[in-house]
Amino acid sequence: MDIRSAQKLAWDNKINKAFNTTNVPLEFGLLTAEVGEAFTAWRKDLSDFGEELADVFLYLAAIAEMNGLDLQTEVQRKIAKNRERSYARNENGIPIRTSEAAEN
């Protein structure tokens, strides 16, 4: 399944279940809670870690849909931009961006 299809299925589920489809700040709050649950599942090595990550994606997809964004297009664009960036490690070993992707 591609991102665009998953975004549509997630949105259809929200509509069918009468979940939030208009309150963007609420959706960001719920997304934040899901990120916390995913972190806890990872930290405690719980079996539902993958499910929690899926919840994060579903809330993210809903926020994209609420704002008229095609998340697949945005992800593809960002990956291409990141591919063109250059990094070098500083004296502490932290990667520091040394060049930005060229603007189209």
User: Mean pLDDT of all residues in the chain?
Assistant: 95
How confident is the model over 35-58, as a mean pLDDT?
98
Write down the domain spans for the chain.
3-99
CATH number for the domain formed by residue range(s) 3-99: 1.10.287.1080
Which pLDDT band, with edges at 50, 70 and 90, does 99 fall under?
A: confident
Mean pLDDT of 30-59: 98
Q: Taking the model in full, what pTM does it have?
A: 0.85
pLDDT band at 103 (very low <50, low <70, confident <90, very high): low
Return the pLDDT at 42: 98
Q: Which residues contact 7 (CB under 8 A, 6 or more apart)?
A: 61, 64, 65, 70, 71, 72
pLDDT the model gives residue 62: 96
Q: How many CA atoms lie within 13 A of 77 on its CB side?
A: 8
Percent of the chain exceeding pLDDT 70 equals: 96
Interval 70-79 mean pLDDT: 96
Q: Which amino acid is it at 86?
A: S
For range 41-62, the mean pLDDT: 98
